[in-house]
Structure 1
């Protein structure tokens, strides 16, 4: 219960499954705003979080079915990004209403700008959900050095300097640690 909601609980679904929320959400493919990443770069004092760096990573991870390999999109990655297979008529009406209100149309919310009105892309492959588990985990499940632990909550990323070497997690009310074993 939330004090400022008249003691009502707030429903906030979470993706407590392989693939996290990408396995339960609306599949909208929307990156953060360039200014946010550049702000993280300034705050962290490292270029690792700057827009130019993360944009290159987004391109490498993405397999964009519409925009192909371009300044903002990639085609060789594991994460399929495509157009909606079926567009709800209400969505088209919403975009039309926005245009009538002089809101600039945006054909690509992950391109040069994020402001505007338009239809978004989704993480789907041929109309089927393409979660982060499908994109990045499924092909690695047979690796001998990979153990997938379910019903666990990560409590901390274990670092060695700037390199992640493991995680601390809680499972069945017991705290454990998993270390990287390349």
Structure 2
């Protein structure tokens, strides 16, 4: 049996994010997923090392790598539309679930169980960290766009920062306090 699963996954690079906004640096889903994986891993490590948590950083990273995989089939729906009202949000969640199932069905039977936790999110604590990492990645994008002089991202940055602060996750607060300022610096300032 031939499987198209990884050929589809590789197409994440063709799905552009932030479609409703002018970008100084375009971002695709594959780039975003990599950053979200790095951030989810970091949040899980921070939770474990600083706050005594038990979330597996490897599982958090893997789940973040695949958290937007359904967009290969659905495309990226802009946040203002996706969360405009509960009916749209619920309908889109249903569409994402169908797309996730379709991706899982592309895998050989003997591999599917290994991909269920990263494609469909069965651990609620991992899901919370991946959601936080996803939002943190969006905030970093806003900070980088503002650094490049793109005021188009000003309100998105403010809204995203408020959302991050409202999560009540100490590892997110720690990341914001410890690491976030560096994203607004130039390469020379990072030395």
Q: Compute the TM-score of the two structures, normalised by the length of structure 1.
A: 0.25
Q: Which structure: larger Rg?
A: 1
Q: Compute the TM-score of the two structures, normalised by the length of structure 2.
A: 0.24
Structure richer in helix, relative to its length: 2
